[in-house]
Amino acid sequence: MLRKIIALIFCLHIMTFHANAEDSIEPIEIGQKYYDHIYESWEGIFPDGNRNAAGPKFFSFALEQSLTAEDFVEYNKMYCSVSGSLLRPGDTPDLVRIYEEDTNNLICGEYYRCCWPCTCDLMKYAKTKKAKFTFDNTDHEFYVLTIKDPCAKDNFPRRVNKNYFCKNDKLDKEQVFTVGGDLVIGLLHNASECTTDQLVSIASNEMTGAMCEFRNSQPIEEVQGGMGDIFIQMAN
């Protein structure tokens, strides 16, 4: 019965557009120019059109632009790090908690996603690290989302273009950004060490709480919806 209820809720959420995060349309208008630029550059980013699990390609594309720190943050709101889906501006992010790779502390931040299963998969299979970037000759630190190098995996998902990430079974640093040998798949927005209130909010939320608990307790071979085993095979 619980499995049927979860499936029904999933279908309802997929058919429903996300509510806008802001009352004003100004943030949406600003975000539209970033969306349009990525959309117009699509063939250059993905020559074969395959964007499955290609968050790393979007992140690298943003780094290649001549951006301010603020522009860089906005570009990284335009895609789902798990699925590789392009996102319309104005979506409301999920509050998530991710383990920091080096300390194992829980870091809370905002994650822009295409559908709720991606949020669940991110919280279970990704880690976060601080990384330093330079914009306009000024250093900035951000929490980035990472997974372990997937290039040597025997079960690298066939529906993902491995050549976008890897060269000779190692990460291709000319195409993707790495931190400490890990693959960066996106940005964790407004991130800091979790507070008790944030953890309670995540646990009590319908999606990040009960629904993610159910999804993340399933064996990999039974996971359905969202990117399913595509991202999980890469990240696990």
DSSP string across 20-76? BS-SSSHHHHHHHHHHHHHHHTHHHH-TTS--TT-HHHHHHHHHHS---HHHHHHHT
pLDDT for 224 equals: 73
pLDDT for 226 equals: 63
Q: How many CA atoms lie within 13 A of 232 on its CB side?
A: 20
- Token readout for 51 is 């964007």
- Mean pLDDT, consecutive 10-residue stretches, the chain (236 aa), reads 42 37 48 90 94 95 92 95 93 96 96 94 97 95 97 91 94 96 98 98 97 90 74 90
- Nearest one of 127, 130, 97, 131 to 111, comparing CA atoms: 97
Other beta carbons less than 10 A from residue 87's beta carbon: 20
What is the reported pTM?
Answer: 0.86
pLDDT for 222 equals: 80
pLDDT for 19 equals: 33
pLDDT for 228 equals: 67
Distance (Å, rounded) from C-alpha 114 to C-alpha 91? Answer: 9
pLDDT for 220 equals: 80
Other beta carbons less than 10 A from residue 106's beta carbon: 17
